[in-house]
Structure 1
Amino acid sequence: KHIAQEHSFVPDMWYKRIKPDILIFLDVSYAVAKQRQGTSGWQRSLYKKQVTRLRHAREHADLFFNTDDLTPKEILRNVLNYLESTE
């Protein structure tokens, strides 16, 4: 499973294709991404390119947080809390 966004070559594709009401950006460090996916061959240079390519989405995100120290349940709880607060 590839962790990178397939549309990251087009910085604002997230907006052009979907025009979301809310954009949530989940970030992860290089070390944790490698650990989670077992992508030992994934090079830091590719990670840095992905970070650069996704900068536009990150800058326009309504909610942004790093997931390094969070479980999937904690991530879900954070997202749901945010969504509930916007109602």
Structure 2
Amino acid sequence: MKPKECLIGVCGNCVSGKTTLVEGLTAMGYKAINIPQEHSVSKNLWKRKQPDFLVMLTCSLETAQKRRNISWGKERLELQRKRLQTAKEYCDLYLPTDDLTIPEMLLKTVTAVREKCSCKTD
């Protein structure tokens, strides 16, 4: 399978960069979807989308607060991380975004997708 044919699923805690990553990948010609696993009580919501490649983004509460005016705190972030645990265990790329620029986040993702999806056989 060619890398741009792979369905890239992106999940992560709120304000970790999911929408930004999906938009960037889509603009580059990749098929990418935002999976709102952090809001689901189903531990395996991400599996229902059947991504060929799963990216798990994360950021700290401090980073989330710098990026956006949020009304929630540490407890909600911990709940989201709990809901994301299975996705974290099975992801193809675990990417903390606290210290990454958008181009760096895109480059790390595209590099990992190309590496994995170029080797996949149908």
- Alignment TM-score > 0.5, same fold: yes
Look up the match of 2:76. Answer: 46
Confirm or deny: 8 A CA contact 1:30 1:47 kept in the other structure: yes
Which of 1 and 2 has higher RCO (CA within 8 Å, sep 6+)? Answer: 1
2:63 counterpart (21, 32, 35): 32
Q: Aligned pair count?
A: 84
Residue 68 of structure 1 aligns to which amino acid in structure 2?
D
* Deviation for aligned residue 1:7: 4.2
Give the equivalent residue in structure 1 for 2:32.
none
Residue 50 of structure 1 and its aligned partner are, at CA, apart by 0.4
Aligned residue number for residue 50 of structure 2: 19
What TM-score comes out, normalization by structure 2 length? Answer: 0.63
Distance in 1 between residues matched to 2:39 and 2:76, nearest whole Å? 14
CA distance in 1, matches of 2:75, 2:93: 26
What is the aligned partner in structure 1 of residue 103 from structure 2?
Answer: 73
Q: TM-score, normalised by structure 1?
A: 0.85
How much identity, in percent, do the aligned residues show? 32
Unaligned runs of 5+ in 1: none
Instruction: Give the equivalent residue in structure 1 for 2:4.
Output: none
Bigger share in strand: 2
